[in-house]
Amino acid sequence: MKKQLSLLTFILMYTTSFAQVGINTSNPHTSSALDVQSDTKGLIVPRLTSTAVTSLSSSASEGLIVFDKDQKKFLGWDGTKWQNLGFEGGGSGSSLLTGTIFTQSFETGDSVNYTTAGFAPSSFNFTSGSTVTGDAPSSSSLFSDGTRGFGYSNNNSSGTNSYIEFNTVDASTYTNNITFSFDIAAFSIGSTSNGVENNDVVTIEVSTDGGANYNTKLTLTGGNSSTATNTRWAFSGSGIGTNSYSSSGITVASSSTATGSAITLTGTQAITKLSVTGIPNSSQLKVRIGTRNNAATELWVVDNVKLQAL
C-alpha cells in the first residue's frame, strides 16, 4: 500500500501541470484533467452490484459513472437519476432506451408540450408564491419545483373534467415500462373553510392511439375514506397514489378517519404524488391529467410532471 501511494505520488508530481494528470504520458492532453494513454489496455471504472448502485444514489454527484455488474450496464448519475450509458441506438430488443421522455414544470422557460381542453380550459392558470392568511393551508408554496405550478379552480358542476393534454409522443424507442408522474396539492383560497371533497377529482388518463381513446388509470378525490369534506393539503405532504397500467383504474383518497369539514391533511394522509407505472411504449402515446372542482375557492395545483422510461 505504501509503495502504491509512493508511486501514485510520483506520477501525480511528475505529470501534474495546471492540475492535469497523465498516466503513461508526461503530456496530458490540454482538454483533459486526466489522460490515460495505452494502445493495448482499457480503463476499468468501479464495478458495483445493483444493490450497491442503489445505495450510492443518495450521495451520488452529477457525472458519476459506475458499471452495474448485475445488469451488465454502464450507468451515469445525471443529478437526479441513473442514466443508461452506451445504449442510445434505440430500436428493438435489448437496446431500448431508458430515461426521461418529457418533463413539464410550468416554468417560464419550459417548452410548452401540452394544451388545455375539456370543460372551461381557461380555468387553468399558473400559480406562484405562497398561500396567505385567510387561505388554507396558509404559508404554503403554490408550486413544488421551480417557481410556478399549474392550478385549476372552477365552479364546475358539469360533472365533466378539464384536461391538461400532453402532446403525443413516439415512445417506441423506449423500454416497455414507462411511468407518468406529477405532484399535486389542494388548497382553499380566500377561505379557511373550503377544500376538496369526493366529487372533486384529479385523474391520470392514458391513450395508446394518439388520444382517440383514453383509459383512466388513477383517480384522486378530495375528502377521505370516512366522511370528511373540504380537505386541503400542501405539497409538503408525503402521501402517494399509484397504479399499474395493466390494472383496472383505481380511486385513491386520504386514509384520514377525521370527520366533519375543513380538515388540513398532512404527512402520508396528504397525497402529493400521483403516478401510473408500466405504461407500454406506444408509438402514439398520449397522456392527460383531468381535473374538476366545483367552487371558485377550491384550487388544485399540479407541478413536476414527468414521463420516464425505467
Question: Which spans of this chain sit near Ca ion (rule: CB under 5 A)?
Answer: 105-106, 143, 145-146, 148, 194, 200, 230, 294, 303
Q: What is the DSSP string of the chain?
A: -HHHHHHHHHHHHHH-BTTBEEES-SS--TT-SEEE--SS---PPPEE-HHHHHHHGGGPPTT-EEEETTTTEEEEE-SSSEEEES-TT-SSGGG-B-EEEEEE---TTS---EEEEES-GGGEEEEESB--BTBBS-S-BS-SSTTEEEEE--B--SS--EEEEEPPB--TTB-S-EEEEEEEEEEE-S-SS--B-TT-EEEEEEESSTTSS-EEEEEEEEEESSS-EEEEB-TT--EEEEEETTSPPEEEEE-----SEEEE--GGGSEEEEEEEEE---TTBEEEEEEE-BSTTEEEEEEEEEEEE-
Give residues with Cβ within 8 angstroms of 39, minimum separation 6.
none
Q: Which is nearer to Ca ion, 146 or 278 (CB)?
A: 146
| C-beta of 28 vs 149, nearer to Ca ion | 149
| Residue with smaller CB distance to Ca ion, 152 or 174 | 152
Smallest distance from Ca ion to CB 51, Å: 33
Nearer to Ca ion, 75 or 186 (CB): 186
Q: How far is the CB of 299 from Ca ion (least distance, A)?
A: 11
Question: How long is the chain?
Answer: 310
Contact by Cβ (8 Å): 140, 187 = yes
Rounded Cα distance between 91 and 88, Å, is 9
Contact 181, 308 (CB under 8 A): yes
Please give the Cα distance from 283 to 173 (Å, whole number).
8
| CB of 127 or CB of 277, closer to Ca ion | 127
146 versus 190: smaller Cβ distance to Ca ion: 146
How far is the C-alpha of 145 from the C-alpha of 235, rounded, in Å?
A: 10
C-beta of 105 vs 208, nearer to Ca ion: 105
- Cβ distance to Ca ion smaller for residue 35 or 145: 145
Comparison of 53 and 228: residue with beta carbon closer to Ca ion: 228
